[in-house]
Amino acid sequence: MKRITLSLLISLLVLPGLFAQEKDSLQFKIDSVNNSLAYKTGTIELESGNAQLKVPAGFRFLDRTESRYVLEDLWGNPEDTSVLGMLVPENAGVVGKGSWAFTISFDPMGYVKDSDAGDINYDDLLKEQQEEARAVNEQRVSAGYEPVELIGWAAHPYYDKAKKTLHWAKELEFGGDSIHTLNYNLRILGRKGIFLINAVAGMEELPRVQASIDEVLASVDFKEGHRYADFDSNADEVAAWTVGGLVAGKILAKAGFFAVLLKFWKLIALGLIGAGSAVWNFIRRKKETAAVPVTDAQEPTADSQV
């Protein structure tokens, strides 16, 4: 009896230390990834060439190269060369509890007419999108990605006709995960296309994301000649889709199968951080890239100079 009691006592003394070491190791991995990224603040010249981004207070900016590392290598999303950057909250990194971010892209689809904005039945539109998401799941799984279920609107679509901005949010379930993902979609209409700003977060982050919407929408400033009001009906191309089409996501269909796959971003699963594979592969790639010197025979590529 004393031997059992002693064993229990040893376990009580040792196990907390082991748990603490494991917790410290996990936090070290998380901190290593978050600290390895080159965050920027201030005014950013976006690669699309038609706008500037004034990084909002409380956020930091990651350029195209860093953003693709996060989205593709860490979070396990399909490749997407259209991403211009990401806005990451100062108090939340790209991995770890409470992580979330806004992705930024530009689609030169042309001038989007907004005459239908007040006539859309968004309940019917939601049902259509749920059916489309289920229909494409077989292709997603065949391509090595998790199936996606569109649970519903996390925020009802809203179009600001004066500011030419549109936003809505979807609640998504990836592969039966009990932790649902929030995809909050923002669109800023311009003369020759739209900026797509998508918040990727857990559903628990919805209040924080919503509190940032106005600030983030105001952070993108089209340059003179590129604004919605600069449209020239005699010279400019009109987009194939209106505001309703943007919410429906059907604009992506013309780009083919992989555009459909990219309709939904997902966050990294916390279990992957614990396993360490995605994290350490990421860190090794970053270190190897930084260690390679640039010589006359090896000039930086356009992507590396973002």
CATH number assigned to the domain comprising residue 164: 2.60.120.1690
Bridge partners (DSSP) of residue 65 are: none
pLDDT at residue 25, rounded to an integer: 67
Sheet hosting strand 51-54, strand order edge to edge: 43-45, 51-54, 220-222
Q: Does residue 190 belong to any structural domain of this protein?
A: yes
Query: What is the model's pLDDT at position 266?
Result: 61
The answer to whether position 259 is within a domain reads yes
What is the SS3 string spanning 224-269?
CCCEHHHCCCCCCCECCCCHHHHHHCHHHHHHCHHHHHCCCCCCCC
H helix or E strand, kind and range, residue 281:
helix 277-291
- For the segment 146-155, the average pLDDT, to the nearest whole number, is 90
Establish if 59 belongs to a structural domain: yes
Q: Give residue 16's region: left, alpha or beta (phi > 0; psi -120 to 50).
A: alpha
Q: Tell me: the pLDDT tens digits for 166-198? A: 999 989 888 877 778 888 999 999 999 999 999
Average pLDDT over residues 42-59: 97
pTM strictly above 0.85: no
**156 within domain boundaries:** yes
> Comparing 59 with 251, which gets the higher pLDDT?
59
DSSP code of 298?
Answer: S
Long-range contacts of 173-178 (CB under 8 A, 24+ apart): 173/148, 173/149, 174/146, 174/147, 174/148, 174/264, 174/266, 175/146, 175/147, 176/147, 177/146, 177/269
Q: Which of 199-208, 224-233, 256-265 has the lowest mean pLDDT?
A: 256-265
Query: Is residue 213 scored above 60 in pLDDT?
Result: yes
For residues 13-38, average pLDDT: 65
Indicate whether 195 belongs to any domain: yes
Residue 70 has pLDDT above 70, yes or no: yes
In a domain, 207, yes or no: yes
- Taking residue 219's Cβ as centre, other Cβ atoms within 10 Å add up to 24
pLDDT for the residue numbered 250: 54
Q: What is the mean pLDDT of residues 124-140?
A: 85
Minimal CA–CA distance to 168: which of 87, 256, 249? 249
Residue 97 has pLDDT above 50, yes or no: yes
> Among the listed ranges 148-157, 195-204, 278-287, which one has the minimum average pLDDT value?
278-287
Taking only the tens place, the pLDDT of each residue in 242-278 is 888 888 765 444 334 334 444 455 654 433 333 334 4
Q: How confident is the model at residue 294 (pLDDT cuts 50, 70, 90)?
A: very low
Q: What is the mean pLDDT of residues 228-244?
A: 93
pLDDT at 60: 96
For tokens 């609107």, what's the residue?
153
In DSSP terms, 238 is beta-bridged to 111
* Residue at 290 is within a domain: no
User: Which candidate, 56, 22, 65, places its Cα nearest to that of 213?
Assistant: 56
Nearest to 220 by CA among 106, 107, 101, 70: 106
Inside any domain, residue 216: yes
Q: What is the mean pLDDT of residues 64-79?
A: 87
The total of structural domains in the chain comes to: 1
pLDDT at 95 over 60: yes
Q: Is the pLDDT of residue 80 over 90?
A: no
Structural domain that includes position 163: 36-285
